[in-house]
Chain A
């Protein structure tokens, strides 16, 4: 490496901040090619070596501004990480036909659990005396029934994905709309006004992660051409 490449390296380090390894390599390659051409043109027009380097760097502009624009269009480190981890999850869930089918045992078990808990709550309701241990047990059975039915529906929606023909952006949009409507409807089932503030920290923590992941996925869908989307990005 020539000593006068340092200015370019500094520019590139700033311009590729937070970009994924592949994106950074792409930026480095194209900017290095650009810089070389710019420098050669300056040298050919009679400018001295150092001055040609400075002119080539100056022509590139502010690296921070370029970095902001690159981050809007190329994959960042966190997005690349999410893409990799989602690919691993998708691979696990749809590895074999048997596994795809076996996964439905989870919503089935949750639904059975919900039915059993609801049955217990219904059967014991006539015998419940307020402010007694039986009232507390009845409320617990009701809560377990609600949580189990939410888990059953949610896991069924998620595990049905490998079996659904979702391979166009339109179908993906329909699935996502259905998924979020289900999540909202299920949140209503779990909604407990009496203890809302008591559990709000847990709800906020869970939802902040979901919102963060969804925001990253939206960004990925914008950055990757639809033709190159992996299956899990449709969801």
Chain B
């Protein structure tokens, strides 16, 4: 499975639940996938920066346990992209299920 290509969508999905910082996003993806989607966390931030540059997420300075943290939140454009990606993924997933079911 090309998980790398799906990472931005998973990040957007995680941020659609509410603003969060990098570590929490990584943990959210891992826990919601029950550990199946176990990616290298160093690749999360380049994906986050790319989403930020394209205007799909925005970042702001916050703090957690009195420590500064960079938080990210999804933008309106990001929600639009997420809805489109979700629809595309469902279509692909259904098509693959049909094919594999036939085999």
Interface footprint category on B: 20 to 34
Contacts of B22 in A (CB 8 A): 30, 33-34
Compute how far the CA of A66 lies from the CA of B49 in the bound complex, rounded to whole angstroms.
12
A182 CB-CB contact with B under 8 Å: no
A61 CB-CB contact with B under 8 Å: yes
A69 CB-CB contact with B under 8 Å: yes
Contact check, B42 vs A66: say whether CB atoms are below 8 A apart.
yes
Contact check, B21 vs A33: say whether CB atoms are below 8 A apart.
yes
B17 CB-CB contact with A under 8 Å: no
Give the contacting residue for A30; candidates B40, B47, B70; CB below 8 A.
Answer: B70
Give the contacting residue for A33; candidates B23, B40, B43, B47; CB below 8 A.
Answer: B23
Q: Identify which of A70-78, A139-147, A195-203 touches chain B.
A: A70-78
Interface footprint category on A: 20 to 34
Given contacts A66-B46, A73-B50, A225-B55, contact A34 B67 (CB under 8 A): no
Contacts of B70 in A (CB 8 A): 29-30, 33
8 A Cβ contacts from A27-56 to B: 27, 29-31, 33-34, 36-38, 41
Contacts of A31 in B (CB 8 A): 42, 45
Given contacts A27-B45, A69-B46, A73-B50, contact A34 B23 (CB under 8 A): yes
Contacts of B40 in A (CB 8 A): 59-62, 65-66
Contact check, B49 vs A73: say whether CB atoms are below 8 A apart.
yes
Given contacts A30-B22, A33-B21, A34-B22, contact A60 B50 (CB under 8 A): no
Contact check, B53 vs A225: say whether CB atoms are below 8 A apart.
yes
Contact check, A38 vs B23: say whether CB atoms are below 8 A apart.
yes
The residue in B22, B45, B69 that gathers the most chain A C-beta atoms within 10 A of its C-beta is B45
Chain B residues packing against A (C-beta within 8 Å): 21-23, 26-27, 39-43, 45-47, 49-50, 53-55, 67-70
7 contacts between A and B (CB under 8 A): A29-B70, A34-B23, A69-B46, A69-B47, A70-B49, A72-B50, A225-B53
